[in-house]
Structure 1
Amino acid sequence: MNKALLHIEGLAVLLVSLYFYSIHDFSWILFILLLLAPDLSMLGYVINIRTGTLVYNLFHTYVVPIGVVFIGILLDSDIALAIGIIWVAHIGMDRMLGYGLKYQTDFKDTHLNRV
């Protein structure tokens, strides 16, 4: 049951992100181009599993993109706000699909698997 709730939570985050992105009338081309950009953080695994886990988790936790959203709001920067919302949408999409934060044991070993 807990795992299902986390998937639903991810869907909710994705839908809320899409809503806020749409009401700001940002570019959907930008959205499509950047939606999978946080997955480039998987390149950290080329160095080693410890670095890969650290970099991947940094790019897949809500703290950083929500900070980017706040910076966009505070500085009245549409590009920062758009990037932050896209980033949050990506994480919500990942959680909805069952991808979670990684453990150093294995790439497929995530916090959603241990719920």
Structure 2
Amino acid sequence: MDTSFARLWLRLEGLAALALAALLYRHFGLSWLWFAVLLLAPDLSLLGYLGGARVGAWCYNLAHTYAIAGLVLAAGLLAPLASAPRPALVGIGLIWCAHIGLDRALGYGLKSPAGFRFTHLGKIGREN
């Protein structure tokens, strides 16, 4: 089955997520210096590969799901409900979402325990 069309849509979806996160970041007037400094922070999860492919994939995928980034963002926006948003949590959540969107737009997907090169967007590397 040819999945290239689906992969293209997933990459465009990642680009849209990156753009939306950046626009919201700008809307909240947060520091672009922190955006630049923290944009690649989720990739520290690659250190999980020191424990093998299974541990590495688990760590990487945990750091590259919108669910957790969205929870951080929601915590910043909603907690406490009676007070103002927490800018640090909002910023971290948006930067995290932007990072995931950037990865998806570039073709990097969630990892398989079979190895780093195997993702939900297809195999990555020079041979592809």
- Please give the TM-score of this superposition, normalised by the length of structure 1: 0.97
Partner of 2:126: none
Matched, 1:24 2:28: yes
Higher helix proportion, which one? Answer: 1
Which residue identity lines up with residue 111 of structure 1 in the other structure? H
| Correspondent of 2:61 among 57, 70, 73 | 57
Which residue identity lines up with residue 8 of structure 2 in the other structure? A
Residue-pair matches, total: 114
Q: What is the CA–CA distance in structure 2 between the aligned matches of 1:49 and 1:110, rounded to whole Å?
A: 12
Larger Cα-atom Rg = 2
Fraction of identical pairs, as percent:
46
Partner-residue secondary structure (3-state), 1:109: strand
1:47 CA drift (Å): 1.2
1:48 CA drift (Å): 1.3
Q: Which runs of 4+ in 1 moved over 4 A?
A: none
| Gaps in structure 2 of 5+ consecutive residues | 80-84, 124-128
